[in-house]
């Protein structure tokens, strides 16, 4: 009995070792971003400058900053108004989308999940098909409608298509499926209307599905590249995600700091939303 237990332990150790090595592929970039933001400018120029064609020689990287400083971060936060504008553009484009999705998708999902009516299955199929279509397909239709409504080159060009995305409807529907029907029938007998039932019973019990949809939508919106790139020609409306991707690195320290500030909200949401994120992924793939 001893032998197999020992063998099992060794096996686990080996598996753990391999996973650890792979995990370094994730940890190292995060480490790079955190230490890079604390590195003084001259050290950045000397170490990674060559990679960006700013200095001679080859790149090298110090595991720790030789002289940690908050100076680049301070410069970013205090002296770079452009950065602030982009940051607030991102916020101003992502959160209206989330609020809109909550108002539009949650009631629709509730009806699709918990109410019986003819055509329910067909509608559900429709939402799934729309949800899985990539941007290549929705790009021209979105352009046509935004052009007709004169919304191109305004933040609404990013917000409105996001609000009416089919994706949160589907994820929230999966979440509401967990609400037991007898509870609803009891509420109906007590005379509660459909909106009240959704508010009083549906939202509290179906909140994991709603949060799943919102976490996934946040990550998607915060990382948006295609939509703003296509529909926002005016750089004044660009979100941080697009601006940073196009960065010409006038100031390495500021760029490093900006990368970290871009990362921070996403990591924060990830930290607290991870269970919902996993739930959302599973809802997309496998029947509950």
Footprint on residues 57-116 left by another protein (CB under 8 A): 57-61, 103-105, 107-108, 110-112, 115-116
Q: In the bound complex, what is the minimum distance in angstroms from residue 68's beta carbon to another protein?
A: 19
Q: Which of 66, 70, 178, 246 binds another protein (CB under 8 A)?
A: 246
Nearer to another protein, 180 or 193 (CB): 193
Q: Which of 63, 117, 122, 182 binds another protein (CB under 8 A)?
A: 117
Total residues at interface with another protein (CB under 8 A)? 106
Q: In the bound complex, what is the minimum distance in angstroms from residue 209's beta carbon to another protein?
A: 15
Nearer to another protein, 29 or 68 (CB): 29
Q: What string marks each residue from 181 to 220 as x (binds another protein by CB under 8 A) or -?
A: -------x----xxx--x--------------------x-
Q: Does residue 53 come out as left (phi exceeding 0), alpha (psi in the -120 to 50 range) or beta?
A: left
Residues from 139 through 178 that contact another protein (CB under 8 A): 139-145, 160-161, 163-164, 166, 169
Q: Which of 41, 46, 77, 130 binds another protein (CB under 8 A)?
A: 130
Q: In the bound complex, what is the minimum distance in angstroms from residue 175's beta carbon to another protein?
A: 15
CA distances from 116 to 110, 129, 283 (A): 11, 21, 21
Check if the beta carbon of residue 38 is closer than 8 Å to that of residue 65.
yes
Q: What are phi and psi of 53, to 5 degrees?
A: 75, 25
Q: What string marks each residue from 20 to 59 as x (binds another protein by CB under 8 A) or -?
A: --xx-xxx-xx-xx--x-----------x-xxxx---xxx
Any contact of residue 235 with another protein (CB under 8 A)? no
Q: In the bound complex, what is the minimum distance in angstroms from residue 153's beta carbon to another protein?
A: 14
């Amino acid at each position: 009995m001893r032998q197999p237990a020992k063998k099992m332990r060794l096996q686990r150790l080996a598996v753990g070792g391999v996973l650890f090595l792979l995990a370094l592929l994730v940890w190292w970039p995060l480490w790079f971003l955190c230490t890079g933001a604390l590195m003084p400018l001259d050290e950045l120029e000397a170490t990674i400058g060559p990679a960006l064609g700013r200095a001679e020689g080859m790149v090298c990287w110090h595991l720790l900053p030789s002289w940690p400083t908050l100076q680049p971060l301070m410069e970013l936060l205090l002296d770079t108004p452009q950065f602030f504008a982009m940051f607030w553009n991102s916020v101003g484009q992502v959160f209206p989308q989330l609020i809109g999705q909550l108002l539009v998708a949650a009631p629709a999902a509730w009806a699709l999940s918990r109410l019986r009516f003819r055509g329910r299955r067909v509608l559900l199929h429709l939402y799934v098909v729309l949800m899985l279509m990539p941007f290549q397909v929705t790009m021209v239709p979105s352009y046509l409608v935004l052009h007709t409504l004169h919304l191109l080159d305004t933040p609404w060009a990013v917000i409105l298509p996001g609000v009416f995305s089919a994706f949160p409807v589907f994820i929230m529907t999966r979440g509401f499926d967990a609400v037991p029907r007898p509870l609803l029938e009891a509420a109906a007998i007590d005379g509660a209307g459909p909106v009240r039932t959704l508010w009083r019973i549906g939202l509290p019990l179906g909140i994991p599905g709603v949060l799943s949809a919102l976490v996934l939508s946040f990550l998607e919106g915060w990382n948006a590249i295609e939509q703003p790139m296509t529909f926002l020609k005016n750089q004044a409306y660009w979100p941080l995600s697009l601006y940073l991707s196009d960065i010409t690195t006038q100031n390495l320290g500021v760029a490093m700091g900006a990368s970290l500030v871009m990362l921070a909200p996403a990591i924060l949401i990830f930290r607290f939303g991870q269970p919902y994120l996993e739930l959302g992924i599973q809802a997309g793939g496998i029947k509950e």
